[in-house]
Amino acid sequence: MTAPGTEPTPAVDSGLTPAASPPFHVEPGSEAPVSPAITLPPSVSPAGVPAMAGAEAWSRGAASIPTGYSPPPSFDSPGYGYGYSAAPVWGPAITGPKAWPVAVFTVLFGIFGAISAARRSGDARALGLPGGRYWGVFAGALVASFAVWTLVLGIVIAITVPLYLSATSTVMTTSALEQALVSTPSADGSVVEATCVESAVDPVGVGTYECLAHFDNGTDLSYRVTVSSDGSWAASAID
């Protein structure tokens, strides 16, 4: 049972749950003294915020720009806002190693151009740049070099093979020379049969032959026949 005059004052429900605090007991006569009323100075608002000198009443209408206000500088202005008369220059951009040596090295040495591509790609990545373009240059140069070297090899073959064949082909044989003596008119008469042997002849048949020609009048004459590299020949009688 509660004594009259000592009932607790009911708390106002503010919707907030206060933090739990330990119980306490106040001895009679030890209550805190009551502070006197505090008067705020004129320059301080009731909310504790200093009042602006000469402030006027405000409304919710359109805002007006105070007198003497200047907007902050903008990069769209001719002066770029911070005293620059032109766009600031930040220095040259990092481009990384050149790519053309990879192409030259690949054209000259083929697949070994990958060495140059790998080294320059690693240097570019060390600078924070992509390194794939060096491998692209290597691949393109490798295909181009293959096409170029194939064309060069085809031209060389087309020129050297006919020369080699002409140099190694047989110019004359004994049987071919015997037929040539029979079919060619002679000042000594018509040759009906001829027999030839090699005297000083190289592997392709160029050189000197000794031939015995039998004429239609029954006479036999000996001839020395010289064959040139173009296949032409000349005969002279042997005494």
At residue 187, the pLDDT reads: 81
Name the burial class of residue 31, with classes exposed (0-12), middle (13-18) and buried (19+) by CB atoms within 10 angstroms of its CB: exposed
- Alpha-carbon distances of 224 from 171, 173, 233, 239, rounded to whole Å: 17, 15, 10, 10
At residue 79, the pLDDT reads: 47
Distance between CA atoms of 181 and 229, rounded to whole angstroms?
A: 18
Distance between CA atoms of 63 and 98, rounded to whole angstroms?
A: 60
Distance between CA atoms of 186 and 233, rounded to whole angstroms?
A: 13
At residue 139, the pLDDT reads: 93
For the full predicted model, state whether its pTM sits above 0.75: no
Q: What residues in the chain have per-residue pLDDT under 70?
A: 1-92
- 139-183, pLDDT tens digit by residue? 999 999 899 889 999 999 999 988 887 777 888 899 999 999 998
Amino acid at 118: A
**Contact indicator for 196, 181 with CB cutoff of 8 Å:** yes
Coil, strand, or helix at residue 220?
strand
At residue 237, the pLDDT reads: 86
- The DSSP secondary-structure symbol of 92 reads P
